[in-house]
Amino acid sequence: MHDIIIRNADIIDGTGKSAYQADVAVDGGQISDVGDLSRNGGRHVIEAEGHAVTPGFIDMHSHADFSLPIWPTADSMLHQGITTAVVGQCGLSPAPLPDKTREETVAVLNGFFGERIKAMPWNEWSSVGDYLKFLTRQGVSINVLPLVGQGVIRASVMGLGEGRADLDQMATMKNQVAGAMAQGAIGLSTGLIYPPGSFTATEELIELTRAVASKNGYYFSHIRGEGDTLLDAVAEAIRIGRETRTSVQISHFKAAPKDNWDKSSHALQLIGEAQAEGLDVTADLYPYRAGSTTLATMLPHWAHVGGPGETMKRLADPAARAKMIADMQTGGFARGFEWNMVLITSSPPRTAYEGRYVSDLAAQAGKKPYVWVFDALLETALDMTMAVFGMSEENRRREIQFPSMMICTDGFGLTATGPMAKGVPHPRNYGAFPRVLGRYVRDLQVLKLEEAVFKMTGLPAKKLRLKGRGVIRPGFAADLVVFDPATVSDRATYDNPHQYAAGISHVLVNGRFVIQDENHTKKKPGIVLKPLH
């Protein structure tokens, strides 16, 4: 008698091979058998005829480390079939928090993620190891692979100022990276458009990444630019991998706004050339035309020097405002974006702004858009996020077909109702993976179903050296998804994002139901994973 049997399923095993019909047995958290099990019984039987069974999806870029301590069931992730998430991204991780700079570092993180993480139990940890022990003690519904954030490490040692690290500071930062790796981090992440990552020279990143390379870890990067400087930014990530011999992941790949769309194919070519050179350089994306980050990211690089307090002072200074406008029009993140492409997704101090475009809000207030943005950032103490529409659909289709492109959400574990259903966050939080399956596989036929599943399972598992995961095979972990290929789809929209995906009926994590008959069981069988070294 097996614990669970999934009968008559179309098995898409995560290797990219064609689907085949079989039964799957699960016992003790593992896949125990695959084949004709019609003579076998099960304590729980799922009749899956006409449904696909795949390995659990692996989210290659998630910020769930800032939602799991508050809401460990990660509902919006599991409802889209995600069973494992790589967290600690964009240079931002919940730890380490050295005693000397703890308050300042927590303030930086609170300032970046805003209202959504105000309930974070910061007193529960100081180190990466402490944080992971907290998650294990509390229990979580998904598996976690943690990175340590370069931005957090630099902020804790050097603050939010510009300048290069001296020898002592460099040694301290390398020790923090090595300590985080010893405690369970799988590598280093950077967010090179955000302070203090944006203040960091390439040479400093190379030196810091050597501490990762010595432990066979990874370098995940929100690269230094995804617009005018995209090609230089990709080249920088590749250089870091080349000089340190570290595996590189380029996060949430994109080219935006419109006058940079032609750079997409060239950036993919750079990645392909690096692979031909023998370097392990790959990328991930979320399948939408809009990105999302803080509204303050629109401000020029120099406006962030010294931290949020100094940014607020500059926003109140007419001369600084004039310089900001000039710089935003000619370079940086804001150049090329029209304000009717910028949607406010979260503004806890002024929720009336949420779900509206900057152009409309400015017109209603009788202000020029730049002035409205500066005033709104002051009014909300920088606690505003946005979705920015700037990517090409044609590029998205080409990018998702790139052989080593994986899938991510760049999101959190939210809920359709209750305390984690605030604002109008980017729909990728709820729909990234089913959107690939519904829109790009079934509707547009950009990918075959087996190819898409491989990009979500076997390919990332191989990249992350996850032993016994990412493929449906006896002896492998029973992270499994059951869905209907004919109906699977994302329901979340920019206007109404708090909606779970359709067509995904069952999700198992380590052999236990976390989604059963489309309902969350509230079980927490997730664990902290370690790559095979």
What whole-number distance in Å separates Cα of residue 329 and Cα of residue 319? Answer: 16
pLDDT tens digits for 245-304? Answer: 999 999 999 999 999 999 999 999 999 999 999 999 999 999 999 999 999 999 999 999
Torsion sign (Cα): 106, 109, 111, 115: negative
What whole-number distance in Å separates Cα of residue 436 and Cα of residue 442? Answer: 9
Domain residue extents for the chain? 58-289+406-420+448-463, 294-389
Element housing 283 (H / E): strand 281-285
pLDDT tens digits for 413-465? Answer: 999 999 899 999 999 999 999 999 999 999 999 999 999 999 999 999 999 99
Cα 415 from chain centre: 17
pLDDT at site 117: 82
Place of tokens 């080409």: 398
pLDDT at site 533: 60
Instruction: Label residue 93 by pLDDT band (50, 70, 90).
Output: very high
Report whether pLDDT(482) > 70.
yes
400-439 burial by CB neighbour count: b if 16+ within 10 A, else e?
bebebbbbbbbbbbbbbeeebebbbbbbbbbbbbbbbbbb
250 contacts: CB under 8 Å, gap ≥ 6: 221, 223, 234, 237, 271, 281, 282, 283, 284
3-state SS of 296-352 is: HHHCCHHHHCCCHHHHHHHHCCHHHHHHHHHHHHHCCCCCCCCHHHEEEEECHHHHH
Nearest to 77 by CA among 68, 69, 292: 68
What whole-number distance in Å separates Cα of residue 531 and Cα of residue 533? Answer: 6
Angle subtended at Cα 142 by Cα 136 and Cα 147, rounded to the nearest 5 degrees: 70
Bridge partners, 34 (sequence order): 24
Report whether pLDDT(12) > 70.
yes
Instruction: Label residue 28 by pLDDT band (50, 70, 90).
Output: very high
CATH fold group of domain 58-289+406-420+448-463: TIM Barrel (3.20.20)
Nearest to 307 by CA among 158, 170, 508, 174: 158
Instruction: Label residue 116 by pLDDT band (50, 70, 90).
Output: confident
Cα 182 from chain centre: 23
Nearest to 152 by CA among 130, 114, 126, 133: 126
pLDDT tens digits for 131-157? Answer: 999 999 999 999 999 999 999 999 999
DSSP 8-class letter at 184? T
